[in-house]
Amino acid sequence: MPTPFTDWLYNFPPVKWLNALGPRFYASFVEADRWKLYLKGLGVTFQITIAAISLGLALGLLVAMVRTAHDQQLPGRRNPLLGLVNAVCKVYTTVIRGTPMMVQILIWNFVVFSTRNKILVGMVAMGINAGAYISEIIRGGLMSVDPGQSEAGRSLGLSYADTMRFIVIPQAFKNILPSMGNELVTLFKDTSLVNAIGAAEMTYYASRIGGKTYDYMPPLLIIAAIYLVFVMGLTWLQGRLERRLRQSDRR
């Protein structure tokens, strides 16, 4: 039964706004099975993340190995080929870490590749970007191991490769893990940037839904929540793994 008071209340701006929220979210999520689009986009986001982190790990490991091996050569026994490869690696990390990721994505899309498969372009752009950061993370981890450890290994007559494999890398792993987790989280969130070249990941679908319903707020809040939930999940997993590794220290 509408009365002057209820009329006033329903037209009171905050109440009116709140009242309309339900239908707005309904239109952005349930109507026309739009939730399927978020899921589809999330799937692509995962694909890009996994491809990029794999490519990044491979590149990062390679670059870190080259640069560490180069820096640890004995003076007077330097390998010129390694010096060349090391210089290439240095240029790679400097250029990638010194330019915005967005600009890199645009360059890969408009300058380097001419493919319609924008997801693939996104994977390559993000993977090559991640490789530069991961190489520095791994290099830092290797350098954080007490030099006495590799001296002990080498003084026993173990080769450089065996010393790295059995002594240095296993100890570096524990130091690398936290930064690597952060890199994965950053990468996962930054996949939203490839929306700029039209790769159909989650952010792309959110803006498409916004365009269709003429209402951008609900889809953007929805994907923000989805990103947040997965980042919190990843962080929790990372914390558990680190705790387990630390326990082995107290043996």
Q: Which residues bind another protein (CB under 8 A)?
A: 74-77, 146, 148-149, 151-159, 162, 166-167, 170-171, 249-251
Alpha-carbon distance of 248 to 234, in angstroms, equals 22
CA dist., res. 110 & res. 118, Å (int): 11
The widest CA-to-CA distance across the chain, in whole angstroms, is 95
**CB 63 within 8 Å of CB 223:** no
* Rounded (5°) CA angle 17-22-23: 95
Q: How far is the CB of 175 from another protein (least distance, A)?
A: 12
Tokens standing for residue 72 = 């640890």
Smallest distance, another protein to C-beta of residue 184, A: 24
Residue with smaller CB distance to another protein, 116 or 250: 250
| CB closer to another protein out of 95 and 245 | 245
> Measured from the CB atom, is 4 or 148 closer to another protein?
148
> Would you say how long the chain is, in residues?
251
Shorter beta-carbon distance to another protein: residue 165 or 240:
165
Residue 84 C-beta: closest distance to another protein, Å: 20
Q: Which is nearer to another protein, 114 or 248 (CB)?
A: 248
Identity of the residue, 7 or 146, whose beta carbon is nearer to another protein in the bound complex: 146
Q: How far is the CB of 146 from another protein (least distance, A)?
A: 7
In angstroms, the CA 146 to CA 168 distance is 9
* 92: amino acid identity, one letter: Y
CB of 171 to another protein, least distance (A): 5
* Cα–Cα distance, 68 to 54 (Å, whole number): 21
Of 65, 72, 61, the closest CA to residue 153 belongs to: 72
CA distance 34 to 51: 26
Q: Beta strands of 74-215 (E only): which ranges? A: none
CB of 167 to another protein, least distance (A): 5
